[in-house]
Amino acid sequence: MNPNKSSVVASSLIISAFLMLAYFYMGVETVEDDMINDQKTGGIRDIAEQSVNGAEMETLARFAVEEHNKMENSSLKFSRLLKAREQVVAGKMYHLTLEATDDDGKIKVYETKVWVQTWNNMKQMKEFKVSDDPNV
């Protein structure tokens, strides 16, 4: 092979390799990458409004109120779900904001976290507290 030709081929290979690396390191993402990034472990994302108003999210909110009532020997009554977010962990952690009525008939806003592992048929209420968010 001609020495000039081999240096051109080598240069072309080096440039091609450099361009491929630059492509990947510049953060060029595809639609598939965006879908994967939405489900990264630890990231919390809002749940679409139609899902918030759906039966699954309401069931989780009602479950959280029931679990709180058992643990605290109280009798809150679920009113409605206001907001739902999810976080991918070993399963999913649902961050729910809901309204519930206490024994005095006062409606209060609560924040709760419910951890779900569908493959283990496991559901646990991890936190339940009065909301300190004035925007809710």
3-state SS of 61-78? HHHHHHHHHHHHCCCCEE
Measured between alpha carbons, how far is 54 from 96 in angstroms, rounded to an integer?
13
Q: Domain total for the chain?
A: 2
Residue 66 sits in a domain whose CATH number is 3.10.450.10
pLDDT tens sequence across 33-80: 444 444 555 677 777 665 556 788 999 999 999 999 999 999 999 999
Q: Assess contact for 96 and 86: CB atoms under 8 A.
A: no
- Structural domain that includes position 13: 3-37
Average pLDDT over residues 109-130: 95
Measured between alpha carbons, how far is 72 from 88 in angstroms, rounded to an integer?
28
Tell me, yes or no, whether 7 lies in a domain. yes
Do 111 and 71 lie in one domain? The reply is yes
pLDDT tens sequence across 72-115: 999 999 999 999 999 898 899 999 999 999 989 999 999 999 99
Q: Assess contact for 110 and 100: CB atoms under 8 A.
A: yes
Do 54 and 33 lie in one domain? The reply is no
Do 71 and 31 lie in one domain? The reply is no
Please report the pLDDT score of residue 98 as a whole number. Answer: 96
Please report the pLDDT score of residue 126 as a whole number. Answer: 95
